[in-house]
Structure 1
């Protein structure tokens, strides 16, 4: 029984792609490609850098993206997020992320990350059940995309 259980765990590990500590990912619905991304197993959710974040009308949010375009999206939820600076109310929107040339649909929060090194933070909501993180590696998804 123990050998069978170890076999199942091993099989599950090999069916997952390996991500490094950082990568460059795509958010095609926002026309953002090769976004510098920190892979963060400590964060519950993913977060995208936006400036001038404003709630407009009842269910929409507007913000300025790093490519100087404006994003107007329907809010999927509003949630209090705890970070190093305390608690911050954040707007979440649904989008798609391309990792290893596979598209994942998820919710991401919009946050001013201008004081941080990476424009996008990929959290456990996507990592769990899909990827293994090897912090000694970097740009594995981006490098695979460049080869194709």
Structure 2
């Protein structure tokens, strides 16, 4: 059996932060069958800032108590995604830093309505590859919750 010492182990569910969006303490479901990660969003509005494409949206925190958080991020692209129920739809794609445990790296997220889903975030295989993570599906919440100060380089 091969082992990979340089890879961090995560469980099927983990706590994450999205510090550039001001989102802290979000439960994420790991989905190795999805290529791109997905973030629950509504009220999605594309706009221009200094000649660049951006998107403004409402993110939702928590599952029992819904807290809304208004976010803005540069728009990376618009992708045609086939959802788990087989329907294709166009989704806005953003890139933002993700904090999981003591790691921090940029991840692309599609913005999608996930209000009927238990988890507001899915982490897809591209995020796992870039973060050099392996999944043990028998475990959950292996990594410590990212600290409130999981800041970006140069931030306090």
Scaled by the length of structure 1, the TM-score of the pair is 0.84
Tell me how far 1:56 sits from its aligned partner.
2.5
Number of the residue aligned with 1:79: 79
Out of 46, 52, 59, the position equivalent to 2:53 is 59
1:130-145 aligned at under 5 Å gives the runs 130-142=132-144
Deviations 1:39-74 (A, max 9, x none): 000000111111111222471211111142211222
Number of the residue aligned with 2:68: 68
Number of the residue aligned with 1:26: 17
Contact 1:24 1:37 in 2 (8 A): yes
Specify which structure has the higher proportion of helix: 1
The answer to which of 35-44 and 62-71 deviates more is 62-71
CA distance in 2, matches of 1:106, 1:78: 15
Number of the residue aligned with 1:127: 128
Tell me how far 1:102 sits from its aligned partner.
1.3
Secondary structure of the 2:143 match is helix
CA distance in 1, matches of 2:128, 2:14: 13
CA distance in 2, matches of 1:144, 1:106: 16
Q: Are 1:48 and 2:39 an aligned pair?
A: yes
Out of 39, 43, 52, the position equivalent to 2:30 is 39
- Over 3 Å counting, the alpha-carbon distance change for 1:122 and 1:95 in structure 2 is same
CA distance in 2, matches of 1:45, 1:138: 21
CA distance in 2, matches of 1:144, 1:92: 24
Contact 1:34 1:142 in 2 (8 A): no
Secondary structure of the 1:141 match is coil
- Over 3 Å counting, the alpha-carbon distance change for 1:50 and 1:144 in structure 2 is closer
Q: Which runs of 5+ in 2 are unaligned?
A: 61-66, 148-156
CA distance in 2, matches of 1:85, 1:50: 20
**What is the number of residues matched between the two proteins?**
137
1:83-122 aligned at under 5 Å gives the runs 83=83, 84-122=85-123
CA distance in 2, matches of 1:143, 1:50: 22
